[in-house]
Amino acid sequence: MAPSAPRRRTGAAGKRAPQPSIRRLLIADALRSWVPPTAAIAVLAVAMLLDATELVPDGIAAAISVVAVLVLAVFLAIAPLVADEHRGRLPPLVPVAVGAVATVLLAYPVIVRLLPGTPLREIALEAGAKGAVVVAPDEASRIDFVVDAHLPLSTDRRDRTLHYDIDLVDDAGTHDDVSGEVGDSWRMRRLGRRGSAPSHLEHLSASNAVAVGSGGLRIADVTLTGEPRATASAIVYRRRTPPSAVLYVGAALLVLGALVFDLWWDPAAGSTTTMVTASACAAVLVFAAGGAGHPGIRDVIGAVLVGTLVGAPVGGAAAWLARLVSLPGSRRRA
């Protein structure tokens, strides 16, 4: 009788061999689906909670929120590109790297506004401020001149306004006027069937972008009118936000790049990348144009809402027009 062939041993070790591959597949699927948006939303919620409880400064909480919102937006744009049905068409690291670069580019002008750094000067805006140095020669080419109002305590609910008019002059004698209004107000807020309740709105600071001319910059005159016994002070920061022209050109290039990518990826339909990019760029432009002296998480949320309402329709319309123009030509060539 011929000897039987040796049987392969199928022990526990043989059954466990596929487990690392399955684990890697599960991790990869989680990273492509629910982990990034869940983490971004959780970080955003924690940042808002820390800001509401004043456990962290408003600027830091807002900066964390900006990164979380941008991560969520980038995920919405690149998630379809790394899906299983498109595997092999584009290396997964390419959209991830592009999304990371876009996040940095969009976050920078917002974060440098939220965290302006060490102030150059702090000046009490009063009669004795005439001649006070705002910027020393060659200290900065652009500044943020932030005016803070200090209103007296009041028990009555009335609107209070402080108007400031500050005349700045450089070493060449060129004058630059900085003016505006700050204060607080009361409004009645409806509470549904329970009636209404008073709501206190404060706008006690304002930021003014000033270009420094020849040499240094000093205060020539200060005029405060409005609320009696109210005072004001100024904080001078080196302006690190890029000029408006740079922001608008950069936003246009980002949206154009997203539009070209959408047309290449799916010429017939789909404009997710364009709409998300346009919304993010619009939010950054809205925030950069804001005049809040000390912007925080409320300003970030407001800019995101306005940017989404404006950017998404604009991005969708641009993608629709681009396909309307490009598709007939491609069909004729086919």
Q: How far is CA 59 from CA 117, 303, 304, in A?
A: 11, 15, 16
> Is residue 6, in this structure, part of any structural domain at all?
no
Task: Calculate mean pLDDT across residues 286-290.
Answer: 94
Distance (Å, whole) CA 60 – CA 114: 8
For residue 316, the SS3 value is helix
Higher-pLDDT residue of 90, 45: 45
Residue 103 to residue 68: CA distance in whole angstroms: 10
Phi, then psi, of 3 in degrees rounded to 5? -65, 140
**Do 160 and 77 sit in the same domain of this protein?**
no
Query: 234 with 94, same domain?
Result: no
Domain count, the chain: 2
Residue 9 is predicted with a pLDDT of 53
Residues 168 and 307 in one domain: no
Query: According to the model, what pLDDT value does residue 89 have?
Result: 67
225 and 130, same structural domain?
yes
DSSP helix/strand/coil, 309 = helix
Q: What is residue 301's predicted lDDT score, i.e. its pLDDT?
A: 93
Report which residue type is found at 314. Answer: V
Could you tell me which of 154, 173, 174 has the C-alpha nearest to residue 162?
154
Q: Is the pLDDT of residue 332 over 50?
A: no
Q: Are residues 109 and 249 in the same domain?
A: yes
Looking at 238, 264, 285, the residue that finishes a domain is 238
Residue 300 predicted with pLDDT over 90: yes
Give phi and psi for 182, each to the nearest 5. -135, 165
- Contact, 291 vs 206, CB < 8 A? yes
- In the chain, pLDDT over 90 holds for what percent of residues? 60
φ/ψ bin of 230: left (φ > 0), alpha (ψ from -120 to 50), beta (otherwise): beta
pLDDT tens for 146-175 read: 999 999 888 788 889 999 999 999 988 899
If asked whether residues 202 and 306 sit together in one domain, one would say no
Confidence category of residue 1, pLDDT binned at 50, 70, 90: very low
Which residue did the predictor score with more confidence, 26 or 56? 56
pLDDT at 333: 45
Regarding whether 217 and 147 lie in a shared domain, the answer is yes
Q: Which residue among 219, 238, 257 closes a domain? A: 238
Task: Quote the mean pLDDT of the chain.
Answer: 86
Residue 330 has pLDDT above 70, yes or no: no
Is the confidence at residue 199, as pLDDT, over 70? yes
| Sign of the torsion formed by the C-alpha atoms of 323, 328, 329 and 334 | positive
With bands split at pLDDT 50, 70 and 90, how would you rate the model's confidence at 142? very high
The answer as to whether 8 is a domain residue is no
Q: What is the pLDDT of residues 65-98, one digit of tens each?
A: 999 999 999 998 888 777 666 565 678 788 889 9
Q: Is there a single domain that holds both residue 109 and residue 190? A: no
Sign of the torsion angle spanned by Cα atoms 281, 282, 285, 291: negative
d(CA 210, CA 102): 28
**Do 300 and 110 form a contact (C-beta atoms < 8 A)?**
yes
- Enumerate long-range contacts of 194-201, CB under 8 Å, 24 or more apart: 198/157, 200/157
| Strand extents, DSSP E, the chain | 121-124, 133-135, 142-150, 160-170, 175-190, 196-203, 205-211, 217-226, 231-238
With 80 as the cut, is the pLDDT of residue 191 above it?
no
% of the chain surpassing 70 pLDDT: 88
Together in a domain, 229 and 248: no
In this structure, what are the phi and psi dihedrals at residue 315, rounded to the nearest 5 degrees? -65, -40
In a domain, 50, yes or no: yes
User: Do 59 and 126 lie in a common domain?
Assistant: no
> Could you tell me the pLDDT band of residue 324, with boundaries at 50, 70 and 90?
confident
Asked if residue 227 and residue 186 are part of one domain, the reply reads yes
pLDDT confidence of residue 268:
64
User: In 3-state terms, what secondary structure has residue 274?
Assistant: helix
Per-residue pLDDT, averaged over 198-218, amounts to 88
Q: Is the domain of 89 the same as that of 147?
A: no
CATH assignment of the domain containing 203:
2.60.120
Q: Range of 102's domain?
A: 20-116+243-333
Tell me the pLDDT tens digit for each residue of 231-283.
Answer: 999 999 999 999 999 999 999 999 999 999 888 877 666 788 999 999 999 99
